[in-house]
Chain A
Amino acid sequence: MTVRRFRLSERCFASLLILPVFLAISLVVLFPLAYSLWMSFADVNLLRATGPALELLGLRIPLFRYVGLQNYLRLLSDPLYWDSFGRTAYFVGAFVLETTVVGLGMALVLHERFVGRPVMRSLLLIPWSLSRVVVGLLWVGLLDVEFGALNGFLYKAGLIDRYISFLKSGFSALNVLVSVYMWNQAPFATLLLLAGMQSIPIELYMAAEADGAGYWQRLRYVTLPALRGILFLVLVVSTVNGFLMLDLIYVLTMGGPGNETTTISWLGFQTAFQFFKFGPGTAILYTLTVFCLLLTVLYQKVMFRKLEAEEA
């Protein structure tokens, strides 16, 4: 009797459990996402809510004047957008590379046997758990041209005779942003990779050793192939995070000097919230959203393939 009731209302019960989250997601994600998309096709005037409006539950949601593709067309002919695009590509590429290499390097060292392993793993969580605002100002303390500890160290060691201004030139500032963000994010990649390494059967290593494989050969033929899935995950997640990075730019460079650390996400943020041009701003941010959608599709395809392979 109980078993029959279980079958009958299963879908209904499951739907009820999911309903609150879907209402919430629709309300705080899907609807705002659609509204932002609309704004990217509109001439948004924040002071005067002109044009038609959406009347919803007694609320008046302004729709402004529809201008078609105007915001996007202006954007595509704006050299600043393409410059930012190029910088974003560099930023994402360098960030993904650094995160993967440093994340994997730390994981390989931490996977060795040594005294104090749990402590080292805890340390991994420190950079990752900090607010990016704190991460930014903490690196100011290390890199500043007047009181930076790294400058102090180099000066003391006799390697420089004047403190370096790391954020003064655009290219150097961009690389500082990459590395600081990597400091914050690579530990999480390390955690994922360590979890992956722990699930590699020890027999594989024993077999490799019996065949006379040294450390690097074991890494090349046993460890890395087994970590393929997680490395892919790290690549996708760090690519998305690279595209979206905003808070560190705010704290460290504000997109400057000039526009030399202006990425697409910063350009969109600045256009929308410093110049209060919501139309062009949302258009810029939507080009970013499309990238994320594409990456999600890619990620899901690979994940599903992996899941099917596991089930087979």
Chain B
Amino acid sequence: MPPAMLRRLASRTVVYALLALIALWLVGPFLWLFVTSVSYQRNLLARPLAFIPPEVTLDNYRMVVGVVRFHAEGQAAKILPSMLNSLIVATAVTVVNLVIGTTAGYAYARFRVPLKTFSLFALLFTRMLPTVVLIPAYFLLFRALGLQNTLTGLVLAYCSFTLPFTVWIMKAYFETIPTDLDKSALVDGCNRLQAYYWVVLPVSGPGLVASGAFTFMLCWNEFIVAQVLNTKLGTTTLPPVIAGMNAQINIDYSVIAASGFLAALPAVLLVLGFQKYMVQGLTAGSIKG
């Protein structure tokens, strides 16, 4: 073999070896979560450990959804209702974001807004703000408003960290749509609101999908706010319930893994399903500032 070809072969080998390593690093842990969720705890404790499970079972999932009774069924019984709560909160926040965040993004992309620099800075700061510093205030304000342990309270709190992102992503997206489109709509007799609603929005699907999916993902995954604000039984979302199971030593890891996998799946499928738009939207939103 000529040396040039040999060198090429060597460099290809290195690239594919590194790719295999990266793939293992990225999905290995997640796949292992699935493996443990269909294993019996006794097989996980065995030494040497079998990486291909000797017995496969859905018992852990049965326990989690409450079909099979076990000693910690009280804990497991919270999973499905809290999943519903997560769904409600995440959907509501996404809708709010898409309605009001998108219009603001449009205004920033197109018009001379009063206090533009300052308000954009305020949004950027909000994006970088530790949400946890707001929780003491939410705690007392929601107590005064009677919003403690309600999903409405969570929806309000979640808007604090999602809105800045939505405005940012949509601003970057609208900037890619030529202004001629709005102008020709105005010439055709639309008023400005109609131009936005009937002409610009219909071609903004990718941006809307990107910010909507991202908002949903952030809310679905949020843990600290829900953990602190909604402590009453049945009012919290999925992550605090799973963290609570994880903290109990009498629950087998395989059962926790099953609930973790159930919690992860919707977010992973959502992101993989909309990856094209999300990657575009988020990189544009981040890089353009």
Within 8 A of A (CB), among B130-164: 130-141, 144-145, 156-157, 159-160, 163-164
With both chains docked as a complex, state the minimum distance between the C-beta of A296 and any C-beta of chain B, in angstroms.
Answer: 5
Within 8 A of A (CB), among B94-127: 96, 99-101, 103-104, 106-108, 110-114, 119, 121-126
Q: Is B233 located at the chain interface by the 8 A CB criterion?
A: no
Q: Is B128 located at the chain interface by the 8 A CB criterion?
A: yes
Q: Is A9 located at the chain interface by the 8 A CB criterion?
A: yes
B223 A133 Cβ-Cβ under 8 A: yes
With both chains docked as a complex, state the minimum distance between the C-beta of A199 and any C-beta of chain B, in angstroms.
Answer: 9
Give the complex CA separation of A230 and B111 in angstroms.
27
Given contacts A134-B242, A269-B224, contact A17 B103 (CB under 8 A): yes
Nearest CB in chain A to that of B189: its residue = A2
Given contacts A29-B126, A125-B275, contact A141 B257 (CB under 8 A): yes
B107 A14 Cβ-Cβ under 8 A: yes
Chain A residues closer than 8 Å to B289, beta-carbon distance:
299-300, 303, 306-307
Chain A residues closer than 8 Å to B163, beta-carbon distance:
21, 24-25
B130 A28 Cβ-Cβ under 8 A: no
Nearest CB in chain A to that of B229: its residue = A273
A230 B242 Cβ-Cβ under 8 A: no
A292 B224 Cβ-Cβ under 8 A: no
Given contacts A33-B129, A192-B286, contact A246 B112 (CB under 8 A): no
Nearest CB in chain A to that of B155: its residue = A28
Give the complex CA separation of A54 and B141 in angstroms.
11
Within 8 A of A (CB), among B16-55: 16, 18-19, 22-23, 25-27, 29-30, 32-33, 36, 41, 44-45, 47-49, 51
Give the complex CA separation of A152 and B134 in angstroms.
42
Flag B247-289 by CB within 8 Å of A: 1 or 0 each: 0000001001100100110011011100100110011001101
Nearest CB in chain A to that of B142: its residue = A32
Give the complex CA separation of A287 and B170 in angstroms.
32
Within 8 A of B (CB), among A135-158: 136-142, 144, 146-147, 149, 151-153, 155-156
Chain B residues closer than 8 Å to A89, beta-carbon distance:
none
- The stretch among A57-65, A73-81, A167-175, A218-226 that forms the contact with chain B is A57-65
A6 B186 Cβ-Cβ under 8 A: yes
Give the complex CA separation of A90 and B180 in angstroms.
51
Chain B residues closer than 8 Å to A183, beta-carbon distance:
25, 29
Nearest CB in chain A to that of B279: its residue = A191
Given contacts A114-B15, A282-B133, contact A28 B160 (CB under 8 A): yes
Q: Which residue of A35, A144, A155 is within 8 Å of B253 (Cβ)?
A: A144
B23 A35 Cβ-Cβ under 8 A: no
Q: Is B187 located at the chain interface by the 8 A CB criterion?
A: yes
A25 B228 Cβ-Cβ under 8 A: no
Interface size on A, residues (CB 8 A): 107
Q: Is A106 located at the chain interface by the 8 A CB criterion?
A: yes
Given contacts A133-B239, A196-B287, contact A250 B268 (CB under 8 A): no
Give the complex CA separation of A307 and B120 in angstroms.
14
Binding site for B on A (CB under 8 A): 2-3, 6, 9-11, 13-15, 17-18, 20-22, 24-25, 27-33, 35-36, 39, 44, 46, 59-62, 106, 109-110, 112, 114, 120-134, 136-142, 144, 146-147, 149, 151-153, 155-156, 183, 187-188, 191-192, 195-196, 229-230, 233, 237, 240, 243-244, 246-247, 250-251, 265, 268-269, 272-273, 278, 281-282, 285-286, 288-289, 292-293, 295-296, 299-300, 303, 306-307
Binding site for A on B (CB under 8 A): 15-16, 18-19, 22-23, 25-27, 29-30, 32-33, 36, 41, 44-45, 47-49, 51, 96, 99-101, 103-104, 106-108, 110-114, 119, 121-126, 128-141, 144-145, 156-157, 159-160, 163-164, 167, 186-187, 189, 192-193, 196, 217, 220-224, 227-228, 239-240, 242-243, 246, 253, 256-257, 260, 263-264, 267-268, 270-272, 275, 278-279, 282-283, 286-287, 289
